[in-house]
Chain A
Amino acid sequence: MIEIRNLNIKLGSFRLKNISFEVKEGEYFVILGPSGAGKTVILELLAGLIKPDKGKISGINSKKSALIYQDYMLFPHLNVFKNIAFGLNIKKEKKDTIKKIVTETAAKLDISHLLNRDILNLSGGESQRVAIARASAVDPLVYLLDEPTAALDINTRKGILELFKNIHKENKNTFIHVTHNFEEALFLADRIAVIKDGEMIQIGEPNEIFNHPKSKFVADFVGFENVFHGKIKDNIFTSVHDEFFKLYLPSENTNNIYLAVKSEDIIVSKEKFESSARNQFKGIVDEVIHKLANIEIKFKVNNSKLICAVTKFSFEEMQIEPGKQFWLTFKSSSIKAFPH
Chain B
Amino acid sequence: MKKIFVIFLIILILSISLPLLNMFLKVSVQDLIKTLLDEEVTKSIFLTLRASLWSTSAALIVGVPASYILARHNFFGKRILEGIIDIPVIVPHTAAGIALLTVLGRRSLFGEITGISIMGTETAISVGMFFVSVPFLINQVKTGFRLIDERYEKVAYTLGATPFQTFYKVSLPLVKKSIMSGSIMMWARGISEFGAVVILAYHPMIAPVLIYDRYESFGLNYARPVAVLLITICLIVFIVLRFVEHKSGNNAK
- A-side residues, CB < 8 A to B, are 44, 47-49, 62-63, 65-67, 69, 73, 75-77, 86-87, 89-91, 134-135, 138, 144
Q: Do B252 and A63 touch (CB < 8 A)?
A: no
| Contact partners of A44 in chain B: CB under 8 A | 154
Chain B residues within 8 Å of A135, by CB: 158-159
Complex CA distance for A47 and B149, rounded to whole angstroms: 17
Interface residues of B in 152-210 (CB under 8 A from A): 152, 154-161, 165, 169-170, 173-174, 176
User: Is the pair A73, B160 in contact by a Cβ cutoff of 8 Å?
Assistant: no
| Cβ–Cβ contact A76 & B154, under 8 A | no
| B253 CB–A CB distance under 8 Å | yes
Contact of A76 with B253 at beta-carbon distance under 8 Å, contacts A86-B156, A90-B159, A90-B160 already known? yes
- A65 to B159 CA separation, bound complex (whole angstroms): 8
Q: How far apart sit A138 and B161, CA to CA, in the bound complex (Å)?
A: 12
CA distance A62 to B162 in the complex (A): 12
Find residues 64-121 in chain B having any chain A CB closer than 8 Å to their own CB: none
- Docked-complex contact B159 and A138, CB < 8 angstroms: yes
Residues of B within 8 A of A134 (CB): 155, 159
Q: Given the interface contacts A73-B151, A73-B152, A73-B155, does A87 sit within 8 Å of B160 by beta carbon?
A: yes
Docked CA distance A69–B154 (Å):
10
| Bound complex: CA A87 to CA B166 (Å) | 11
- CB pair B158–A91 under 8 Å, yes or no, is no
Q: How far apart sit A76 and B170, CA to CA, in the bound complex (Å)?
A: 9
* Chain B residues with CB below 8 A from A62, complex form: 157-158
* CB-CB contacts below 8 Å: B219-253 with A: 252-253
Chain B residue nearest to A40 (CB atoms) is: B151
Complex Cα distance, B154 from A75, in Å, reads 11
A75 and B170 contact, CB distance less than 8 A: yes
A337 to chain B, nearest CB (A): 35
Are B149 and A73 neighbours in the complex by a CB distance under 8 Å?
yes
Using a Cβ–Cβ cut-off of 8 Å, how many residues does chain B contribute to the interface with A?
19
* A65 with B158: CB separation less than 8 A: yes
CB-CB contacts below 8 Å: B130-166 with A: 149, 151-152, 154-161, 165
A-B contact pairs, 29 of them (CB 8 A): A47-B154, A47-B158, A48-B157, A49-B154, A49-B157, A49-B158, A63-B160, A66-B158, A73-B149, A73-B155, A75-B152, A75-B174, A76-B174, A76-B253, A86-B156, A86-B159, A86-B161, A86-B169, A87-B160, A87-B161, A89-B169, A90-B160, A90-B161, A90-B165, A90-B169, A91-B160, A134-B155, A134-B159, A144-B158
Query: 8 tightest CB-CB pairs across the interface, nearest first?
Result: A76-B252, A87-B159, A77-B173, A67-B158, A90-B160, A73-B155, A90-B161, A49-B154
B147 to chain A, nearest CB (A): 12
Q: How far is the CB of B104 from chain A (nearest CB, A)?
A: 40
Taking CB atoms, residues of chain A closer than 8 Å to B157 are 47-49, 62
For the complex, give the distance between the alpha carbons of A44 and B155 in Å: 10
Cβ of A124 to closest chain B Cβ, rounded Å: 16
B155 near A69: Cβ-Cβ < 8 Å: yes
A76 to B151, CA, bound (A): 13
Which B residues lie within 8 Å of A48 (CB)? 157
Q: Apart from A67-B154, A75-B174, A89-B169, what 6 extra A-B contacts exist at CB < 8 Å?
A: A62-B157, A73-B155, A75-B152, A77-B174, A90-B156, A135-B159
Bound state CA distance, A63 and B162, in angstroms? 10
Report the separation of the CA atoms of residues A73 and B156 in the bound assembly, to the nearest whole angstrom. 10
- B98 CB to nearest chain A CB (Å): 44
The minimal Cβ–Cβ distance linking A78 to chain B, given in whole angstroms, is 8
Chain A minimum-CB-distance residue to B172 = A77
Cβ-closest chain A residue relative to B166? A90
List A contacts of B155 (CB < 8 A).
Answer: 67, 69, 73, 75, 134
Contact A77 B252 (CB under 8 A): yes
Would you give the shortest CB distance from A157 to chain B, in whole angstroms? 21
A44 to B138, CA, bound (A): 30
In the assembled complex, the Cα of A87 lies from the Cα of B162 at a distance in Å of 11
**Residues of B contacting A87 in the complex (Cβ-Cβ under 8 angstroms):** 159-161
Of B154, B155, B170, the most chain A CB neighbours within 10 A belong to: B155
Distance (whole angstroms) from the CB of A136 to the closest CB of chain B: 11
Q: Which residues of A contact B252 (CB under 8 A)?
A: 75-77
Least distance between A330 CB and chain B CB atoms (Å): 45
- In the bound complex, residues from chain B placing their C-beta under 8 Å from that of A90 are 156, 159-161, 165, 169
Asked whether, in the complex, the Cβ of B160 is within 8 Å of the Cβ of A138, the reply is yes
